[in-house]
Amino acid sequence: RTAYIDYEMNNNTPQPRFGYLTDGILTYDGIHPTTVGNSLLADQIAEGIYKALVPEPSVLGMLVIACAALGSWRRRVG
């Protein structure tokens, strides 16, 4: 829902007499998605699956990599 709201806020154009157009951008009637709405939803689902399968590197892992890099740099300099 947040992605839809953000998209509409960034891509909605004000209408002179009716305020902002809310139908026809991502949904036909406020419920059923348009082609653009389906694409946005599919992108959000794919991103969620990716984040679930590929964990972010841990802080400890990054610290170990940084220490190893620093140690190899010191051996070359010293």
Asked whether residue 42 carries a pLDDT value surpassing 90, the answer given is yes
Tokens of 62: 């990054």
- On the CB side of 72, CA atoms within 13 Å amount to 5
Give 3-state DSSP helix, strand, coil % of the chain, rounded to 5: 60, 10, 30
Predicted pLDDT at 15: 61
This model's pTM is above 0.75: no
Whether 14 shows a pLDDT value over 70: the answer reads: no
**C-alpha span between 64 and 59 (Å, rounded):** 9
pLDDT (0 to 100) of residue 45: 92
Where is pLDDT greater, at 58 or 38?
A: 38
Do 25 and 12 contact (CB within 8 A), yes or no? yes
Segment (H or E) for 20: strand 19-20
